[in-house]
Amino acid sequence: MAKKVVVIGSGPGGYPAALRLKELGAEVCIIEAWDFGGTCLNRGCIPSKAFLDTAHRIHAFEGLRKLLKDGSGADFSPAMLDWEKIKARRTGVVLKLRASLERLFQAKKIEVIRGAAAFTGKNEVTVTTPQGPVTKQFDAAVLAVGTRPGFPPPFLELKEQLSDSDRIFDLPRLPASILIVGGGVIGLEFACFFNAMGVETGILELLPDILAGEDPQVTRTVRSSFEKRGIKFHLGKKAVKLEIAGGIKTVTLEYGTQLKAEEILVGAGRFADLSQLGLETIGLKWDRKGVKVDNFMRTAAENIYAVGDINGISPLAHSASRQGEIAAENILGAQKIFDADIAPKCVYAWPEVGTVGLNPAQAEAKGLTVKTSRAFFMGVGRAVAAEETEGFVQLVSDASDETMLGAQIVGGPATELIHLIAIAVKLKLKRSDLREIIYAHPTMAEAIHEALNK
């Protein structure tokens, strides 16, 4: 008899779990309280990339200015763009992908229940739907409900008058100025977008640097690029007071410095809120970091698995997808584990950032003797021809046997190139293995080859 499995949440962790379960012969029901695709499709990865694509087009046009005939479109400015059309384009992209996902569920004959789920027994969940409660029995369940934006003080008290990474897409108009709280991936990507749109942009970060945990050479390069475009950084600064008056939001920092902006976007992390799931019914504890799992994605309740950012392992959509597949396979008898070391971390601003595995400091902290080599895009023919010479490729390997440990790429198509190194880390390839690959010429990937030869 086929195993009955309930998947709660249809985001990047839930829908791959449901599809893999169905492929392996399980009887699957997916429960979604909101829209198919979760935060990633509706309020995160996809809509933000639609916005960033607009910004990239502006950036590309700026690069063409010097090639225009005199008087030919030289008066273009971001102010000529229609904000409502930009938002409508984003909405169209989201709706198209959401409809595609819905059709996929239908084609695979996966049962879908729309409503809020809560556990009412060890093997039972009750869904509150518009038509009334629906109860489902299951052998195993996968939690994939995602997280919510967090508001640290002093922003928490006035959060309804501020933007977060969910609500920022629906601003009624572009502000003249914006202060972004948080120097992580969310903050940097939106800073890149708003700056390109002609908005005066600043980033406030409590920590002494952006992109916490990344190699210093990476953060220096990104910071320098942003600053050249007029984005201001306020690093290692703590906000102690927020005031809103006359359409202006004023943040007071320690020691009295004040920052003013029309809009504030709080992008200082996301946190779990599992209070409506009835986890106490099945003996599961949770906190703002989510619910703990082992390497097999199992929670303390033996038939309940948790994937995505609610398990605190890796807050990335692609990590959630892999965890969902692993949970599905393990429910049906496999013993797969999730390896966070091969999950690329990407920033889709410009310069792009793609990192995987260990950086030099992390490798040395593990007691390894490290060989680090670096090649700059300014020495790569394709990059020079495209006038995209910002950034570098840095490779990290074990000095004792040349096994690849990781890489940090800034600039060019970093988020695409990083997958080659992810494969190398996964397969424990050596530098010599990568050197034997023939790199097409001219390509940006030749920067990897250059770094290998240093």
Kindly tell me the burial class for residue 128, based on how many C-beta atoms sit within 10 Å of its own C-beta (0-12, 13-18, 19 or more).
middle
Domain endpoint, select from 312, 340, 368? 340
Residue 61 placed within a domain: no
Q: Could you tell me the residue range of the domain that residue 428 belongs to?
A: 351-452
pLDDT, average across residues 256-271: 95
Flag whether pLDDT at 76 surpasses 80. no
Which tokens go with 60?
């590309």
**Tens-digit pLDDT profile for residues 43-63:** 999 999 999 999 988 888 887
The pLDDT, as a whole number, for residue 450 is: 97
Number of domains making up the chain:
3
The pLDDT, as a whole number, for residue 161 is: 96
Query: 261 with 282, same domain?
Result: no
Query: 321 with 217, same domain?
Result: no
Strands 345-347 and 353-357: antiparallel
Flag whether pLDDT at 359 surpasses 80. yes
Q: What does 189-253 look like in DSSP terms, one character per residue? A: HHHHHHHHTT-EEEEEESSSSSSTTS-HHHHHHHHHHHHHTT-EEEET--EEEEEEETTEEEEEE
74: confidence class by pLDDT, cuts 50, 70, 90: low
Whether a cis peptide bond, with omega within 30° of 0, leads into 153 is: no
Flag whether pLDDT at 377 surpasses 70. yes
Domain holding 251: CATH number? 3.50.50.60
- Please give the C-alpha separations between residue 161 and each of 92, 120, 167, 240, 299, in angstroms, as whole numbers: 27, 37, 11, 17, 37
Q: Nearest CA to 187 among 144, 128, 235, 135?
A: 235
Round to whole Å and give the CA distance between 301 and 219. 41
Query: 137 with 92, same domain?
Result: yes
Round to whole Å and give the CA distance between 280 and 147. 19
Instruction: Supply φ then ψ for residue 196, to 5 degrees.
Output: -65, -30
Residue 71 placed within a domain: no
The pLDDT, as a whole number, for residue 1 is: 75
Of 59, 419, 441, 449, which is the active-site residue? 441
What amino acid is encoded at 393 in this protein?
V
Query: 163 with 310, same domain?
Result: no
**Three-class SS state of 331:** helix
The pLDDT, as a whole number, for residue 65 is: 78
The pLDDT, as a whole number, for residue 73 is: 58
Residue 254 placed within a domain: yes
Domain holding 418: CATH number? 3.30.390.30
Average per-residue pLDDT for the chain: 95
pLDDT, average across residues 196-207: 97
pLDDT, average across residues 216-226: 97
Asked if 293 contacts 309 with a C-beta cutoff of 8 angstroms, the reply is no
Residue 72 placed within a domain: no
Domain endpoint, select from 301, 321, 340? 340
Round to whole Å and give the CA distance between 292 and 361. 27
Query: 279 with 264, same domain?
Result: no
Asked if 204 contacts 237 with a C-beta cutoff of 8 angstroms, the reply is yes
Query: 362 with 396, same domain?
Result: yes
Domain endpoint, select from 268, 286, 304? 268
Round to whole Å and give the CA distance between 122 and 143. 14
pLDDT, average across residues 341-348: 96
Query: 355 with 432, same domain?
Result: yes
Residue 49 placed within a domain: no
Query: 283 with 223, same domain?
Result: no
Asked if 312 contacts 288 with a C-beta cutoff of 8 angstroms, the reply is no
Query: 441 with 298, same domain?
Result: no
Residue 216 placed within a domain: yes
Active-site residue flag, 419: no
441: confidence class by pLDDT, cuts 50, 70, 90: very high
